[in-house]
Amino acid sequence: MGKEAYKSYEEKMKKTISVLKEDLSGLRAGRANPAILDKVTVDYYGVPTPVTQLGSVTVPEARVILIQPWDAKVLKEIEKSIQKSDIGINPNNDGKVIRLVFPPLTEERRKELTKVVKKYGEDGKVAIRSIRRDAIEHFKAQKKKNEITEDDLKDAEKEIQNITDRFIDEIDKIVEVKEKEILEV
């Protein structure tokens, strides 16, 4: 069997990794990260629009995000949307720009966040293992229909397990990096 037999499963696992990275980027780690605004949308002329598309989002200091909308009329709407979102930061509106000041994380909050990171990592691993299970069931079904031999099935199971192990190791590394980032004072 060629490598293309495993490609679709590997692609699904890559998507799982990118979802994990996206979820983790939204976690507040004490320093300002514009990715925290990715899920915040503003009702702009009746259309839900991401904050990042309504103006420039910059990080002038380690703990500050500056949002400077291109249309000054939308400042109040951006402020309301940030307050409604679950990022836990109160926006400061000075009439021209919105500042999001990130307070330093307490030790207790850091520990809570590392638990959340571990949960995201575990969810990612569960998704990867589910893909592995689907792949193995697919190859067993092929064996049952006599489309592949017993040896091919064993090789496929071994290859799928190797791919799974590689992605689980990658998840462990991603989680470890995020935990260090959160625990960094």
CB 21 within 8 A of CB 175: no
Q: What pLDDT is recorded for position 127?
A: 94
Residue 137: burial class (beta carbons within 10 Å; 0-12, 13-18, 19+): exposed
Give helix then strand counts, H and E, for the chain: 4, 6
Is a pLDDT exceeding 80 seen at residue 36? no
Q: Where are the domains of the chain?
A: 4-25+106-183, 34-101
Report, as an integer, the average pLDDT of 60-65.
Answer: 84
Query: What's 4-25+106-183's CATH class?
Result: mainly alpha
Q: Assess whether the region 4-25+106-183 and the region 34-101 belong to the same CATH fold.
A: no
How much is the mean pLDDT over the chain? 86
Query: What's 34-101's CATH class?
Result: alpha beta
> Alpha-carbon distance 53 to 42, whole Å?
10
Report, as an integer, the average pLDDT of 137-164.
Answer: 92
Q: What pLDDT is recorded for position 51?
A: 85
